[in-house]
Amino acid sequence: MEIAASNMGTEASGRPGSAAGRMLAGFFDWFGLMGLFCARLARAAVQPPYEWRELLRQCDAIGSLSLPLVALAGAATGVVLSMETHDSLSRFGAKTMLPAVIVFSVLKESGPIITGLVVSGRVGAGIGAELGSMKVTEQIDAMDASGVDPYRFLVATRVLACILMLPLLTLAADFFGVLMGWVANNLGESISIRYFLQSGFKHVDFGDFLPSTLKTAVYGLIIGAIACFEGMRTKGGTEGVGRSTTRSVVLASLFVILADVLLVRLILAFFS
Amino acid sequence: MESTAPEFPVEIENLYKSFGPQKVLDGVSLQVASSETLAVLGRSGTGKSVLLKLLIGLQAADSGSIRIHGSDIASLNSGQLNELRRRMGFLFQQAALYDSVTVEENVAFPLRRYSGEPASRQKERVRELLRSVGMEAHAHKMPSELSGGMQKRVGLARALVLDPDILLFDEPTAGLDPITAGEIDDLIVELRERRKLTAIVATHDIRGARTFADRLVLLREGKIVAEGSFADLQKNRDRFVQQFVGSLG
């Protein structure tokens, strides 16, 4: 027992250092491999032949199938914003500012980030699981073996579809957010939609709206690239597919949030 | 890429491949003649599948050379490699059919990209291939609706769709009942007779290999331990070779 205990002590004391080393190596390894993956993706995306049909199919799968969820999330955000800010603004006697606060909050931040996170979950998991399953069942090898570049057919199309669809989905989230913000506000005290929109959009210009909508194209790039990367390097059967799916969602969400911080800073620097 | 048609469409020289500390191929050298069917035999995990994946460039060798139609595949860029791959067909162990599309679309997948023929002609060709493997009636089914043997047949049709001159089979009868396995063996024989393809079949099924192979090589721990016709292998006094072929008498 004493020997076992002393061995355990040695192992325990030895482990943290090596575990930290392994984690650090894994961290740099991930970024290195991701860099190589992105370089291959960029080559595949620009070199003909282009897979238009698959791109359209992916735009449909990523865009229209995510629409209900994004619309619902946008609507819920609008309702919550309306309820929360109504109370706060009433305390400061600034209730007339409510439409502007809702519109600015939804257009500049809530709409884009909610869209990014919802799509990270739905699409990130979908792509990670689909490509992961294809990888472990040798379907990707079969594509490669038949002379079709899977990076061109599977990866570039999915990433491009994410880039194209995220801004459009953000518009939907914005629309439903503002609309439901008005509905929630209207339940407390009657206010016409016309007055709500006029008041809300009075000070909004393209500098408020365009950069924050278009930044979601970067979220699309992040979600698509990470999910495809994790899917394409899946190993270890169904358990591996589960791991890839989880990693796709977690890493895509994390990087979307980090990118948001950077992009907001950049947008403020260039557009304010 | 060289355009001359060499006598040996597949030439392997001193091939080494390891995964970590595990040596899978240990100096394998082989030549496969035009229209020859070669069976690569060996126990599970002796590097047969790896050898096929190296041949089609799905994995890279640690050292040694592979020449397909005279081209060293290690020196090809991805475009040239893809071009070469279109002259080769690969039947995967689990068929590896695309599970989101129908049987017909699986077979048509490479054709749609690389055939300049009109859609109607392509469809006709797909039907013709499905008929030749006895799967025409199942053209609109999804792969998940098919049995293992049926999936292998569809995989074979897909491997043949671009009219390859080299065909690689990875354990074509693994996991199949003896009757279905016999049917797949017959299809390989039929292909050999009808299309005069160069074929390499990785298998541990000595009974099947005896029916379709012109030549057999036996791998053990990544090395070729015996090579020749079935009769040659039967005459071999090595204990491992005897264990492998002896059961058929």
Over the stretch B227-238, which tens digit does the pLDDT of each residue have? 999 989 888 888
Question: Contact A49/B78, CB-based, under 8 Å?
Answer: no
The alpha carbon of residue B49 is apart from the nearest alpha carbon of chain A, in Å, by 12
Shortest Cα–Cα distance, A115 to chain B (Å) = 27
What average pLDDT does range B193-212 have in this prediction?
A: 90
Return d(Cα B40, Cα A16) in angstroms, integer: 47
> What is residue B28's predicted lDDT score, i.e. its pLDDT?
94
pLDDT of residue B78: 86
Q: Considering only CB atoms, which chain B residues are within 8 Å of A154?
A: none
| Site from A135, A144, A146 to mutate, B interface, most B CB atoms within 10 angstroms | A146
Amino acid A172: pLDDT? 97
Predicted pLDDT of residue A4: 41
d(CA A55, CA A57): 5
State how far the Cα of A84 lies from the Cα of A269, in Å rounded to an integer. 29
Contacts of B56 in chain A (CB under 8 A): 145
Mean pLDDT, rounded, for B20-24: 91
For residue A17, the model assigns a pLDDT of 63
> CB–CB of A147 and B83 under 8 A?
yes
Q: What is the pLDDT along chain A (272 residues), one digit of tens a residue?
A: 344 444 444 444 445 568 888 888 988 999 999 999 999 999 999 988 889 999 999 999 999 999 999 999 999 999 999 998 988 888 888 888 889 999 999 999 999 999 999 999 999 999 999 999 999 999 999 999 998 999 999 999 999 999 999 999 999 999 999 999 999 988 878 889 999 999 989 888 888 889 999 999 999 999 999 999 999 999 988 999 999 999 999 999 999 999 999 999 999 888 77
**Do residues B123 and B140 touch, judged by C-beta distance below 8 A?**
no
What pLDDT does residue B4 have?
Answer: 53
| Predicted local confidence at residue A141, as pLDDT | 95
CA distance B209 to chain A (A): 24
Question: Tens digit of pLDDT for each residue in B73-87?
Answer: 999 998 899 999 999
Q: What is the rounded CA–CA span in Å between residue A70 and residue A170?
A: 8
Q: Note whether A48 contacts B: Cβ–Cβ < 8 A.
A: no
Taking the CB of residue A12, how many other CB atoms lie within 10 A of it? 9
CB contact under 8 A, B82 and A141: no
Q: How many CB atoms lie within 10 A of CB B244?
A: 22
Cβ-Cβ contacts under 8 Å, B94 against chain A = 137-138
Q: Tokens 């980030």 map to which residue? A: A113
What percent of chain B lies above the pLDDT cut of 90? Answer: 61
pLDDT at position B6: 64
Is the model's pLDDT at B249 over the cut of 60? Answer: no
CATH for B10-87+164-248 (3.30.1280.10, 3.30.930.10, 3.40.50.300, 3.30.1950.10):
3.40.50.300
Q: CA of A67 to nearest chain B CA: how many angstroms apart?
A: 22
Residue A6 has a pLDDT of 40
Residue of B nearest to A135 (CA): B96
Rg (CA), chain B: 18
What residue spans in chain B does CATH classification 3.40.50.300 cover?
A: 10-87+164-248
pTM to 2 decimal places: 0.86
Residue of B nearest to A50 (CA): B113
Local structure of residue B68 (DSSP, 8 states): E
B234 φ/ψ angles, rounded to the nearest 5 degrees: -65, -30
The three-class DSSP label of residue B221 is coil
pLDDT value of residue A14: 46
Q: Per-residue confidence at B216, pLDDT binned at 50, 70, 90?
A: very high
